Amino acid sequence: MSHTKTLHPKRLIALMGPTASGKTSVGIALAKKYSTEIISVDSRQFYREMNIGTAKPTLSQLAEVKHHFINNLSIQEEYTAGHFARDANSVIDELFKTHDTVIAVGGSTLYFKALLEGIDTFPEITKEARERVMEIESNFGLKGLQEALRDADPEYFKAVDIDNPRRIARALEVCFSEGKPYSSYLQKSKSIHKDYSVIKIGLEVPIEVLYKTINERCDEMIHNGLLEEVKQLYPFRHLKPLHTVGYTEFFDYLDGKYNLESAITLFKQHTRNYAKRQMTWLRREQDLMWMEADKIKEFLL
């Protein structure tokens, strides 16, 4: 939606982009420009215990502008996109009482979708279904989860990120709880009526520049102590928030599956793959305006 078509005096600027595209600095600049606050839409940055591997804003950046939904959870807490949509909308409504503009910044595509479009209603997960999925993952790993989902829901299997064990496990839990495909529950929700306009902006970065930045950021994380952070979290590696790039590769290293050099190579590769998946999702977004970082502040008045 172009800013020239604003229907409400209030507006949410949704700044989206792949990991390492520079969203944090642009978001802070926009928040300063409009004297407002930031809704973080990065599901990995919710967790207090995950710092270096999630590329959180620095303490000085957090001091510049108030951020919501960073360091607000423990890795031991269950938190879904549905929970986030509920909580974020509540904060946004409160902010609009004193601000005309609110900035949402992040790259967690599912959480942005939940915030802007609402989220589909799924059945309650049964204990039996959860245990069945855990057994599959324990015995057969990611490949076993992939095969189980392909059998239970071929349609969703074609669409899901098959390298994301959390996403696959969640879909299987739904399938096993009701005996119906996960895909049968999708897109049943109706559009949410919002009393504000949404301006969706994609941060445009040439792919070769993005990949170079990702590799440099990964090296910087390792220099800043990522391996030490992973060692501290190793006892909790079974928790879902830690089943993510930047942690699983080094858990495997600590388990002796790879040497350190191979783990670092996989860390960079998986991060680039993650960025590519984010870009694939963003290119399907309707009304998303792609802009270079230095043009965004000039464009928004």
- In a shared domain, residues 81 and 153: no
- In a shared domain, residues 106 and 147: no
Which pLDDT score is estimated for 263?
98
- In a shared domain, residues 66 and 207: yes
Domain boundary among 185, 202, 219: 185
Instruction: Record the tokens describing residue 48, joined without a space.
Output: 């207090």
- In a shared domain, residues 226 and 278: yes
Per-residue pLDDT band at 301 (split at 50, 70, 90): low
- In a shared domain, residues 268 and 194: yes
Instruction: Give the tens place of pLDDT for each residue, 88-131.
Output: 999 999 999 999 999 999 999 889 988 998 877 788 899 999 99
pLDDT at 194 over 90: no
Which pLDDT score is estimated for 84?
94
Which pLDDT score is estimated for 167?
86
Q: Burial-class residue 117 by CB neighbours within 10 Å (0-12, 13-18, 19+).
A: middle
- In a shared domain, residues 102 and 247: yes
- In a shared domain, residues 158 and 56: no
Which pLDDT score is estimated for 10?
95
pTM of the predicted protein model:
0.80
Indicate the number of domains in the chain. 2
pLDDT at 265 over 70: yes
Domain boundary among 185, 207, 233: 185
- In a shared domain, residues 211 and 240: yes
Domain boundary among 185, 201, 219: 185
Which pLDDT score is estimated for 217?
98
Question: Cα–Cα distances in Å, from 214 out to 43, 59, 192, 204, 265?
Answer: 19, 21, 35, 15, 12
Which pLDDT score is estimated for 300?
67
Per-residue pLDDT band at 203 (split at 50, 70, 90): very high
pLDDT at 229 over 70: yes
Q: Distance (Å, rounded) from C-alpha 129 to C-alpha 84?
A: 24
Q: The domain containing residue 166 runs over which residues? A: 127-185
- In a shared domain, residues 141 and 37: no
pLDDT at 193 over 90: no
- In the chain, the percentage of residues whose pLDDT exceeds 90 is 75
Q: Distance (Å, rounded) from C-alpha 159 to C-alpha 162?
A: 8
Mean pLDDT of the chain: 91
Which pLDDT score is estimated for 6?
46
Per-residue pLDDT band at 1 (split at 50, 70, 90): very low
- In a shared domain, residues 115 and 42: yes
Q: Distance (Å, rounded) from C-alpha 68 to C-alpha 34?
A: 16
Q: How far is CA 157 from the centre of its chain?
A: 20
Instruction: Give the tens place of pLDDT for each residue, 49-74.
Output: 999 999 999 999 999 999 999 999 99
Mean pLDDT within 256-284 = 95
- List phi, psi (to 5°) of 103: -110, 125
Q: Distance (Å, rounded) from C-alpha 122 to C-alpha 134?
A: 19
Query: CATH no. for residue 148?
Result: 1.10.20.140
- In a shared domain, residues 208 and 240: yes
Which pLDDT score is estimated for 179?
92
Which pLDDT score is estimated for 4?
45
- In a shared domain, residues 13 and 76: yes
Q: How far is CA 262 from the centre of its chain?
A: 25
Per-residue pLDDT band at 187 (split at 50, 70, 90): low
Query: CATH no. for residue 208?
Result: 3.40.50.300
